[in-house]
A = this chain, B = another copy of it.
Amino acid sequence: MPDHTRPPDRRATIYDVAAEADVSPSTVSRAFSRPSRVNSETAERVRQVAERLGYRTNPLARALTTSRTRMIALVIADITNPVYAGIVRGAQETAMHDEYTTVLIDAQESDRLERAAIERTMSTVDGIVLASSRMSDSAIRMFAKQRPVVVLNRAVADVPCVVTDNPRGVRRAAEHLGELGHDHITYVAGPQASWPNGIRWRSLLEAGMELEIKVRQIGPFSPTIEGGERAAEELRARPATAVLAFNDQMAIGLIRGLTRMGVDVPGEVSIVGFDNTLAADIVTPGLTTVAAPFYAEGSAATRHLLTMIEGAPGHTGRPMVLPVRLVVRHSTAARDRSVGRARPWVRRPPTLAARLPPPSKQ
């Protein structure tokens, strides 16, 4: 016979409470999980005893039979990327509101790590939000078969997805540059494996067609400040007057690289970024950029996941699309028509900003 007298350091269980309140363990269980199923006076007594004994129901034991842990996993590609802070906040607040706990997994931009981490975590969570997954579509679908999954920032067939309105963002950026007199936009590409990178380029192609603006692409480069600086060097060989960068980090790298080369931003080259991270507001000149609603992304994806967990069918048709907006700052300006198209950049003494030190590692 199990001995349910407990040493004082052990946490109280329903058995301890049951013994003390002189009811059966099942009654204690029901007093908490299905109060309507038990006499209100009894329930009250049980709750009093539980309180006195410091009883808390053990979520693990509960999960074992209900197979619900009230935990969800949020997988992000790179926690050092500030973009994810808002997403995490949105997801976590939404989850917390429904009394779910969020397990954050940082995949460190690695397909392999991402898979391994998910595999280890999957059985302990009720569902998964994949923000900017680096895994293949088929891998994602495989996970989606075993647990509710919502994909963020990417469209995967047969899996519920939440994306931002990349086409509209690109379109707005192109319009803005067009209005400033630019008739040619260079897209500085990020990682080829990145889904947003692909759709941004395609959207630019389309927008260019409609607005009668020529477009071209250079890259891919790493989606970092260093990547942007490398792109600046490449731009030296094939100058441009208007640049759309894959993200803010790269745009900032471009500003730096160009400025250091003596090219005036926005005087000679206009630059538009993507994401509207805090840094866009700090860099000189302030970066014109397409702002995405990160908090709303995390929140929407999580809310959708929670409804799926509650049993609703995942909406696997078209992805849910969230609106974006263009934030105009000082990195874009009217095209300088005095400068010839063929060789617009003249060597000139570095401007103030060119005295910036080379980027140093954090």
Q: Is the C-beta of A282 less than 8 angstroms from some C-beta in chain B?
A: yes
In the bound complex, what is the Cα–Cα distance between A135 and B206 (angstroms)? 53
Q: Mark A102-144, 1 if CB is under 8 A from B, else 0.
A: 1111101000010001011101100000000000000000000
Q: Is the C-beta of A80 less than 8 angstroms from some C-beta in chain B?
A: yes
How often does this chain occur in the complex, in copies? Answer: 2
How far apart are A109's CB and chain B's nearest CB, in angstroms? 12
Residues of B within 8 A of A276 (CB): 362
In the bound complex, what is the Cα–Cα distance between A71 and B101 (angstroms)? 13
Q: Is the C-beta of A61 less than 8 angstroms from some C-beta in chain B?
A: yes
Residues of B within 8 A of A94 (CB): none
In the bound complex, what is the Cα–Cα distance between A321 and B59 (angstroms)? 36
In the bound complex, what is the Cα–Cα distance between A98 and B284 (angstroms)? 43
Q: Is the C-beta of A60 less than 8 angstroms from some C-beta in chain B?
A: yes
How far apart are A63's CB and chain B's nearest CB, in angstroms? 5
Q: Is the C-beta of A18 less than 8 angstroms from some C-beta in chain B?
A: no
The one of B101, B285, B353 in contact with A121, judged by C-beta atoms closer than 8 angstroms, is B101
Residues of B within 8 A of A277 (CB): 362
| With contact pairs A103-B101, A356-B284 given, residues A59 and B124 touching in the complex (Cβ less than 8 Å) | yes
Q: Is the C-beta of A278 less than 8 angstroms from some C-beta in chain B?
A: yes
Q: Mark A142-174, 1 if CB is under 8 A from B, else 0.
A: 000010000000000000000000000000000
Asked if A89 contacts B80 (CB within 8 A), the reply is yes
Classify the interface of chain A: helix, strand, loop or mixed: mixed
Q: Is the C-beta of A56 less than 8 angstroms from some C-beta in chain B?
A: yes
Q: Is the C-beta of A64 less than 8 angstroms from some C-beta in chain B?
A: yes
In the bound complex, what is the Cα–Cα distance between A101 and B74 (angstroms)? 13
Asked if B58 contacts A61 (CB within 8 A), the reply is no
Asked if A80 contacts B86 (CB within 8 A), the reply is yes
Q: Restricting to A318-362, which residues have a CB under 8 Å from any CB of B?
A: 327, 329-330, 352-353, 355-357, 359-360, 362
In the bound complex, what is the Cα–Cα distance between A199 and B329 (angstroms)? 39
Asked if B60 contacts A11 (CB within 8 A), the reply is no
Asked if A80 contacts B85 (CB within 8 A), the reply is yes
Closest to A81 in B: B85
Q: Is the C-beta of A92 less than 8 angstroms from some C-beta in chain B?
A: yes
Asked if A85 contacts B92 (CB within 8 A), the reply is no
In the bound complex, what is the Cα–Cα distance between A362 and B71 (angstroms)? 29
Give the residue among A71, A123, A281, A356 with the most B Cβ atoms within 10 A: A281
29 A/B residue pairs, CB under 8 Å, sorted by A: A58-B123, A59-B123, A59-B124, A60-B63, A64-B64, A71-B103, A71-B124, A79-B85, A79-B89, A79-B92, A82-B82, A93-B108, A101-B120, A101-B121, A102-B104, A277-B362, A278-B362, A281-B359, A282-B282, A284-B284, A285-B356, A286-B357, A291-B362, A327-B360, A329-B357, A329-B360, A330-B356, A330-B357, A352-B352
Given A60-B69, A352-B352; 13 other pairs, CB 8 A cutoff: A59-B123, A59-B124, A60-B63, A60-B123, A71-B103, A96-B113, A277-B362, A284-B284, A284-B353, A284-B356, A286-B357, A330-B355, A330-B357
